[in-house]
Amino acid sequence: SQKIEQNSEALNIQEGKTATLTCNYTNYSPAYLQWYRQDPGRGPVFLLLIRENEKEKRKERLKVTFDTTLKQSLFHITASQPADSATYLCASPGGANQAGTALIFGKGTTLSVSS
């Protein structure tokens, strides 16, 4: 079955630097990957979706890449700010045929941006 691995549990960087978070999938190439942000005590908030046939997607200071050869997605936050401190989750569609809206999540990477 599909597994989503986010190998870094925690990432500490300085304000202004670029944060790069990694997401690896172990089995079939998912039709898409999604990235969510979760703050303590709150539900995840959708950030970006990248499809299998897209190499890169951008939204303001966020950039996501999808490399089917490496079975990996990278999530970048440029010019990071303390307000970017949160846990970031990568998710792949689940289910036998990837239909429906079931998602398989990684355990997340907690980003801390210090000023």
Q: Which positions lie near other proteins, rule CB under 8 A?
A: 31-32, 34, 36, 41-46, 49, 51, 89, 91, 93-95, 98-108
Please check whether residue 61 is in contact with residue 77, taking contact to mean a CB–CB distance below 8 angstroms: yes
Task: Give the nearer residue to other proteins in terms of CB position, either 28 or 114.
Answer: 28
* Residue 82 phi, psi (nearest 5): -55, -30
Task: Give the nearer residue to other proteins in terms of CB position, either 82 or 100.
Answer: 100
Least distance (Å) between residue 4 CB and other proteins: 9
Type of residue found at 84: D
Least distance (Å) between residue 17 CB and other proteins: 26
* Residue 83 phi, psi (nearest 5): -70, -10
Task: Give the nearer residue to other proteins in terms of CB position, either 34 or 73.
Answer: 34
Q: How many CB atoms lie within 10 A of CB 87?
A: 18
In DSSP terms, 108 is beta-bridged to none
Task: Give the nearer residue to other proteins in terms of CB position, either 7 or 18.
Answer: 7
Least distance (Å) between residue 49 CB and other proteins: 7
State whether residue 57 is helix, strand or coil.
strand
